[in-house]
A = this chain, B = another copy of it.
């Protein structure tokens, strides 16, 4: 997989969480396998198309997203409510937007994004349905873990 396509998503996740939610996200070792699925409690999903087509998901543990949104709102968040879901949608949108900006500036790729969708539910799994390149990056924060997955169409 072309690292030029992946790095923007990785750095966008770090940037957006830093700027919007004052949260340091530490990237772990990426994995490329399609049989391993992200698993968590809240997921933001968005697609993109244009010069490259694909999908992006960001899957948080409940503790992690409560910590991130508490930082973002400046107020302790105790449950995954509608406000938290809207904020996850916004974070997903901004990560995809920042990655698209970098891909346009550095690689000349023109991409448009679709509407984000947010899934809530204890211990759900997320699977991207494509034979194309797939990359997942696990992240750690002080509040818990999340994973960013990006998948491209062949």
Q: Which residues of chain A have a CB within 8 Å of any CB of chain B?
A: 35, 43, 45-50, 53-55, 57, 82, 85-86, 89-90, 92-93, 112-130, 132, 151-153
The contact sample of 13 A-B pairs, CB cut-off 8 A, is A45-B45, A48-B114, A49-B50, A93-B129, A115-B130, A115-B151, A115-B152, A118-B127, A119-B119, A119-B124, A120-B124, A121-B123, A124-B124
Which among A112, A114, A127 has the greatest number of chain B C-beta atoms within 10 A? A114
Say yes or no: B129 contacts A125, CB within 8 Å: no
**B-side contacts of A35, CB under 8 Å:** 82
- The answer to whether B129 and A55 have CB atoms under 8 Å apart is no
User: Cβ of B151 and Cβ of A129 under 8 Å apart?
Assistant: no
Known A46-B47, A47-B46: A126·B130 in contact at CB below 8 Å: no
Q: Which residues of B contact A130 (CB under 8 A)?
A: 115
